[in-house]
């Protein structure tokens, strides 16, 4: 593995500044992190923005449509959304936007809890050019080439590494 020269704390700062500029930020948004990497990133953003409502966390394993490719994750943990989703402005946080399948699964799970007023997708990293579904992040820390397979490790500190072809992909 090779560590990328990515200043993760600076990316988090940039994301927070962009979120503060969004009109929904003035409407007491709620935040949900996608387990595991998205949860780590969401914790940092949630803390820095000083959001008062508890951070929600979802595990989208049972909502995925690509079990035959990636297999079922045997360590599925329950999702926790500690507030009513209906009519809330949700900030959905993930670590890496790649094919769009995780985003689709996360939205399906959120809508099982209720109907939000809006969902703003925030990703630390965007692997451009690899989409299988038509999703794009509203706010991205940094864009990388599709050919760069990366992994986020953490939670403290958060680090981004390039994986070799034989290693697990993000």
In order along its 170 residues, the chain shows pLDDT tens digits of 566 678 999 999 999 999 999 999 999 999 999 998 999 999 999 999 999 999 999 999 878 665 555 555 556 788 999 999 999 999 999 999 999 999 999 999 999 999 999 999 999 999 988 899 999 999 999 998 888 788 888 889 988 887 755 444 45
**What is the per-residue pLDDT for 166?**
45
Find the length of the chain.
170
Are the C-beta atoms of 108 and 63 separated by less than 8 Å?
yes
Report the sign of the C-alpha dihedral through residues 21, 24, 29, 34, in that order: negative
Domain that holds residue 72: 7-145
Query: What pLDDT does residue 146 have?
Result: 86
Runs of H (alpha helix) within 22-160: 37-49, 67-70, 101-113
Q: What are phi and psi of 35, to 5 degrees?
A: -60, 135
Task: Tell me, yes or no, whether 156 lies in a domain.
Answer: no
Give the chain's domain count. Answer: 1
Residue 150 counted as domain residue: no
C-beta neighbour count of 5 within 10 angstroms: 6
Residue 164 lies in a domain: no
Q: What is the CATH number of the domain that holds 133?
A: 3.40.50.2020
pLDDT at 169: 47
Give the predicted TM-score (pTM) of the model: 0.89
| 36 domain residue, yes or no | yes
């Amino acid at each position: 593995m090779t560590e990328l020269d990515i200043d993760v704390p600076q990316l988090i700062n940039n994301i927070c500044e962009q979120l503060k500029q969004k009109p929904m930020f003035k409407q007491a948004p709620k935040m949900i992190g996608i387990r595991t990497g998205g949860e780590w990133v969401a914790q940092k953003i949630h803390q820095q923005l000083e959001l008062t409502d508890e951070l929600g966390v979802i595990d989208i394993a049972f909502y995925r449509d690509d079990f035959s490719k990636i297999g079922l994750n045997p360590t599925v943990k329950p999702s926790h959304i500690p507030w009513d989703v209906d009519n809330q402005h949700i900030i959905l946080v993930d670590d890496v936007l790649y094919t769009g399948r995780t985003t689709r699964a996360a939205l399906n799970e959120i809508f099982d809890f209720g109907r939000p007023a809006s969902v703003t997708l925030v990703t630390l990293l965007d692997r451009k050019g690899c989409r299988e579904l038509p999703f794009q992040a509203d706010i991205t820390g940094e864009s990388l080439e599709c050919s760069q397979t990366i992994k986020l490790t953490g939670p403290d500190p958060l680090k981004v590494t390039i994986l070799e072809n034989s290693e697990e992909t993000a």
